[in-house]
Amino acid sequence: MKRTPLFSAHQKLGARLIDFGGWEMPVQYTSIVDEHLAVRKAAGVFDISHMGELTVSGPAAVSFLNHLFTNDASKLAIGQGQYTLMCNENGGVVDDLYVYRIAKEFFLLIVNASGVDVDAAWISKELEKFPHRNEIQFADGSDNYAAVAVQGPKVKEFITQVISGKSVGGTTVNSVTELNKNEIGIFRFENENVFAARTGYTGEDGFEIIGLNAAIQKIWDKLLEAGKPFGCVPAGLGARDTLRTEVCYPLYGHELDENTTPVEAGVGFFVALDKGNFVGREILAAQKANGVSKKCIAFKMTDKSAPPRPHYPIWIDGAKIGEAVSGTQSPSLGIGIGMGYVPTEFSKADTKIEIEIRGKRAPAVIVKKPIYRKG
């Protein structure tokens, strides 16, 4: 199994390790619930070094990204990032990712761990066919880069003890805390440059910090040390999953896959039809105009029950109509929650459904996304 540069730090912290898509990653250090609630109330630090870092640069970079992805990269000012999706010709999702414009002609892509090889192959294949391929450089920096996410309402109170000073690239700011949501800056950390973006996967304020392996090892230790008085704890993939499920962020392999389109998944907002042609546009445009036959819904159990899990059948009026794709006990709400696909006619909020749990059906209700809302 692959290990991140923070592996020995996880061992020292007594993390429970699991195989996550070929990576030996911490699922929890103490308890998923405790780590989850720490992120909602204070702060948590996650190792996200398993995620991939790809770069696309050159004079034709924007037009290439706009051919590859659903969102409009030309709208990005220097130092801005956007959520976007890479689709196949059928509109199915190859991967979902974040694209950051670091400089006028230099873009950083943060992709799913499971997607690194698939995406690199896909992008290389598209590049070979692209008319202006000679004006584009594409590279996979995943082996050299590590990353941490530091998330939670208290993060802004201690982040500057670790990432200090003004930015030297990306968005121009005097302090990392001046970054707005989705902005990225380059900051000096000791003698290295690191990227810090005001993004995350938890529904809380926070930052994702990307840098060379050695720098991130130091940043991990420093964040835990600086954050400790504020209640910051190391948090594992278990809490990362419950946090993102509460706020209904899609996870590739669950809400998204190559047979599911962004419109069906409820992320059609990130499909920019007005930017010109791109891979999958035809089908996505038709779906936006004519509607879709299935939709990704969020649901909440209405009674005490076993937590819903992926693949549990969804029933309505005595008929099986769909399947859960994510499900867990919500640590914030203390009840089972999940997401799943149902035919569009049954997808309205407040629709009463049932989730089949080990052969028995338990009542649930479709709710508006996100399932959990701050405050």
Partner 1 sequence: MSNVPNELKYAKSHEWVRLSGDTATVGITDHAQHELTDIVFVELPAIGRTVKAGEACAVVESVKTASDIYSPVSGEISEVNQAVVDKPELVNTDPHGNGWFYKIKLTQPDEINSLLSSADYTKQIQG
Provide the residue type at 290 as one letter: N
Shortest CB 297 distance to partner 1, Å: 22
Which of 57, 84, 242, 332 touches partner 1 by CB under 8 A?
242
Which of 127, 285, 306, 316 touches partner 1 by CB under 8 A?
306
Which of 44, 152, 238, 280 touches partner 1 by CB under 8 A?
238
Total number of residues that touch partner 1 (CB under 8 A) = 17
Neighbouring CB atoms inside 10 A of 290's CB total 8
Task: Point out which residues pair with 23 in neighbouring strands.
Answer: 2, 20
Stretch 354-373 residues interacting with partner 1 (CB under 8 A): 358
Shortest CB 358 distance to partner 1, Å: 7
Span of 60-68, 81-89, 283-291, 306-314 interacting with partner 1 by CB under 8 A: 306-314
| Residue indicated by tokens 């509460």 | 246
Cite the DSSP H helix spans in 228-367: 237-246, 262-265, 281-290
Span of 58-66, 128-136, 281-289, 303-311 interacting with partner 1 by CB under 8 A: 303-311
Cβ proximity to partner 1, 29 vs 64, nearer residue: 29
Cβ proximity to partner 1, 70 vs 328, nearer residue: 328
Cβ proximity to partner 1, 193 vs 302, nearer residue: 302
Task: Compute the distance between CA of residue 250 and CA of residue 93 in angstroms, rounded to an integer.
Answer: 12
| Residue indicated by tokens 């380059």 | 186
Shortest CB 354 distance to partner 1, Å: 17
C-alpha distances out from residue 82 to 107, 183, 187, Å: 11, 9, 20
Stretch 77-106 residues interacting with partner 1 (CB under 8 A): none
Shortest CB 27 distance to partner 1, Å: 7
Contact call for residues 361 and 316 (beta carbons, < 8 A): no
Stretch 311-350 residues interacting with partner 1 (CB under 8 A): 328-329, 331
Shortest CB 32 distance to partner 1, Å: 4
**Any contact of residue 309 with partner 1 (CB under 8 A)?**
yes
Stretch 9-48 residues interacting with partner 1 (CB under 8 A): 27-28, 30-33
Span of 44-52, 191-199, 298-306, 316-324 interacting with partner 1 by CB under 8 A: 298-306
| Residue indicated by tokens 């998204």 | 256
What three-state secondary structure class fits 351? coil
Shortest CB 47 distance to partner 1, Å: 18
Cβ proximity to partner 1, 83 vs 299, nearer residue: 299
In the 3-class helix/strand/coil scheme, how is 69-110 assigned residue by residue? ECCCHHHCCCCEEEEEEEECCCCCEEEEEEEEEEECCEEEEE
Question: What would the DSSP string read from start to end of 120-170?
Answer: HHHHHHHHHH-TTGGG-EEEE-TTTEEEEEEESTTGGGTGGGTS-S--SEE
Give 175's DSSP letter.
S
Binding residues for partner 1, per CB under 8 A?
Answer: 27-28, 30-33, 238, 242, 304-307, 309, 328-329, 331, 358
